[in-house]
Amino acid sequence: MSLFEVKDRMDALVQELKQHNYNYYVLAMPSISDYDFDQKLKELEALEKAHPEFLDPDSPTQKVGGEITKSFKTIVHKWPMMSLGNTYNEQDLIDFDERIRKAIGDDFEYVCELKFDGLSMSLTYENGKLLRAVTRGDGTKGDEVTANIKTIRTIPTQVKGENMPAHFEIRGEVLMHKAAFEKLNNERIENGDIPYANPRNFASGTVKMQDSSEVAKRPLDCFLYFLYSDENPFKTHWESLQAVKSWGFKVSEESKLCLNIQEVLAFIAEWEEKRFKLSYDIDGIVLKVNSYAQQQELGFTAKSPRWAISYKYKAQEVETILEKVTYQVGRTGAVTPVANLKPVLLAGTTVKRATLHNANEIERLDLHELDTVLVEKGGEIIPKIIKVNLDKRLPGARKIEYIQNCPECRTELIRKEGEAVHYCPNDEACPPQIVGRIQHFISRKAMNIEGIGAETVETFYQKGLLKHISDIYQLKNKEEELKQLERFGEKSIQNLLEGIEKSKKMPFEKVLFGLGIRYVGETVAKKLAQHFKTIDNIIKADFEQLIAAEEIGERIAQSIIEYFAKEEHQQEIEKLKGFGLTFEIEEKEVILASEKLSGKTFLISGVFEKFSREELKEMIEANGGKMMSGISAKLNYLVAGDNIGPSKLEKAQKLQIPIISDDDLLNLLK
């Protein structure tokens, strides 16, 4: 290819991959297979390596993260991030408009913007390059989260354009789209994790994660809406919005320039219903005086600008009848109560069900049969019951008690101390657990078996073809039975069997995740695989050895021990081994940098500022040292970072094992 063709190809790949990222992370509707995406990404990486002069700083290859942040640095805001005054009624807006007129006369405009329900963020750019990203904090100072914010695909790390100041700050809102939130929250529920209440909480929790490579996996987005600079070249807020959009920032297309308060009120009324059609949450409308000179003239109160105010929509609420409470059993055995409601229109959709979360929520609401309940759909995606209208409770109505037995297999439910959720322990014979476990195993993030979907698993279970995960690998012996099923022709069966065969090459961490051990999500499975190397090592590991692994807490360790304590689970793994699945990590050949740590054993624990634990491990092994999975008399050094468990420290001190820092480790290598 000529240089022109190379540049065109790189630009085309960047745009195409950005669109695929948007489809996957924002819309939760992938438009390309993982394999094809990875191939295109590898092609782009190779071209960027060969032609660094054409590298787009905002390329998808630059958004994968990888930095570890031990603690977030506090930064004082040059311009305080003040909160806005807000109101829920139109008269307050009319009064606000009158105060503006008294102060500056009648010659002014408003800019109306959607009020995003997200996390406020301040981005500072120097000569077009992203310098730092800081949270709102207390308004005067916030946490620097630059490494995490750089992973957001819609935030440019480099911008250019006309009239761009050398140094400027731009503010916006980090958010998560509703479809992506539901998808990720469902994965948390499947893994036995506590779900987030709404997209805002999920976005906020993500921004404060310590590992930016994990942040990169979360589908965050960001709208920018205000420019600050000592050398601001623009006279109005509206003019600056158009400019920053041309520089490459994502600005909402829904903003509007309004000439008077009547146009503002019309805009608010228009979005009262339209907001429910957006892919993200808004909780109101912000109006700002457009002219910067007039903003300056109006000034500030102690807490907020006098030239801006937000109108907040009330959360949609409606009364309806609680017809009954039913219970859903997840693949991990978690039993979730669901309120079945008399259908009612709420926030633009017909609501028939509302989540009740757990037994505590039923008790808190004091629910009785056929109660009249108030249902809300605000920041939460799934409607929830706010309270009961006691004035309408039927005489003699029976109190709703949480069930004692599994609704599917009648096994007595268990509830562990300190947990809110009830579980069905009959994981080998409870139908929804069996089906859910197999569906999880074949899913895209686990074994990614093409040719078989969730509905097919359900059908195969009903027909007696699948009872265990290992049965998948015996389907090749049941072709005649498969041919008898509807919609299963020669081609479908061939695709299915090829997909099953291909899955045998999936790496160990995917197989481990696919087993569906409670609390062992995708990231935890990867950490376990890296630490223990083989499934046999994980099975043999005791509690202390498990919590010595990175990101493995007490709850996860206990769950792993309980899972492998069951004979049937170990038998299943032996069957899967027999079918050729991968149960050990593919070791990279370690090229020794030196023999300085030869004969020495190490255990790494805690969080480090300069290195990730994986980097320290590679450093030790590259210099001849060996890693251990737990503290014992055979251990030579405990490399300790922040947040190391007190029991681990105590045990090391008792055995008189030297406790060293990452700096001490570097000194050993000098």
Q: Comparing C-alpha atoms, which of 208, 81, 95 is closest to residue 137? A: 81
Distance of alpha carbon 535 from alpha carbon 289, whole angstroms:
63
Which amino acid makes up residue 430? C
Beta-strand pair 308-312/282-289:
antiparallel
**Model pLDDT, residue 438:** 95
Residue 345, Cβ density class (10 Å: 0-12 exposed, 13-18 middle, ≥19 buried): exposed
Alpha-carbon separation of residue 185 from 66, 190, 192, 219, 667 (angstroms): 23, 9, 11, 12, 44
CB neighbourhood size of 545 (10 A) = 21
Of the chain, the end-to-end C-alpha distance in Å amounts to 47
Across 14-44, b (16+ Cβ under 10 Å) vs e yields beebbebbbebbbebeeebeeeebeebbeeb
SS3 category, 395 = coil
Q: Comparing C-alpha atoms, which of 283, 314, 324, 315 is closest to residue 116? A: 283
Of 63, 115, 250, 288, the catalytic one is 115
Which amino acid makes up residue 374? L
**Annotation says 115 is catalytic:** yes
**Domains of the chain with bracketed CATH:** 3-62 (1.10.287.610), 74-312 (3.30.470.30), 315-340+350-424 (2.40.50.140), 431-503 (1.10.150.20), 508-578 (1.10.150.20), 601-669 (3.40.50.10190)
Please tell me what DSSP assigns to residue 470.
G
Residues in CB range of 481: below 8 A, 6 or more apart: 463, 465
SS3 category, 171 = strand
Q: How far is CA 70 from the centre of its chain?
A: 20
**Model pLDDT, residue 615:** 81
Alpha-helical segments (H) within 22-175: 34-50, 90-104, 146-149
**Model pLDDT, residue 350:** 84
Encoding tokens for residue 615?
């980097």
Alpha-carbon separation of residue 388 from 116, 164, 338 (angstroms): 30, 56, 16
CB 459, CB 449: distance < 8 Å = no
CB 340, CB 318: distance < 8 Å = no
**Model pLDDT, residue 163:** 92
Residue 81, Cβ density class (10 Å: 0-12 exposed, 13-18 middle, ≥19 buried): buried
Distance of alpha carbon 393 from alpha carbon 391, whole angstroms:
6
pLDDT along the chain (670 residues), means of 10: 86 86 62 75 87 82 65 88 88 95 95 94 95 90 92 90 94 92 80 75 87 84 95 94 93 96 96 89 94 93 89 87 94 92 83 89 94 80 86 94 96 89 92 94 90 90 94 92 85 91 94 93 88 94 88 89 94 95 78 85 82 83 86 89 76 90 88
CB neighbourhood size of 62 (10 A) = 15
Q: Comparing C-alpha atoms, which of 86, 104, 116, 90 is closest to residue 261? A: 90
Please tell me what DSSP assigns to residue 524.
H
SS3 category, 216 = coil
CB neighbourhood size of 416 (10 A) = 11
Encoding tokens for residue 320?
């309806």
**Model pLDDT, residue 539:** 96
- Residue 124: what are its φ and ψ, rounded to 5°? -110, 130
Q: State the helix-helix crossing angle for 554-565 and 567-578, rounded to 10 degrees.
A: 80
Residues in CB range of 194: below 8 A, 6 or more apart: 188
Extract the runs of DSSP E, i.e. beta strands, from 330-410. Answer: 334-346, 349-355, 372-377, 384-388
Q: How far is CA 332 from the centre of its chain?
A: 20
- Residue 282: what are its φ and ψ, rounded to 5°? -125, 150
Q: Comparing C-alpha atoms, which of 159, 178, 279, 176 is closest to residue 227? A: 159
CB 198, CB 379: distance < 8 Å = yes
CB 219, CB 280: distance < 8 Å = no
Whole-model pTM: value is 0.61
CB 631, CB 651: distance < 8 Å = yes
Distance of alpha carbon 255 from alpha carbon 286, whole angstroms:
10
Q: State the helix-helix crossing angle for 662-669 and 613-622, rounded to 10 degrees.
A: 20
C-alpha torsion sign, points 194, 195, 197, 201: positive
Determine which helix (DSSP H) or strand (DSSP E) holds 130, and give its type and residue range.
strand 129-135
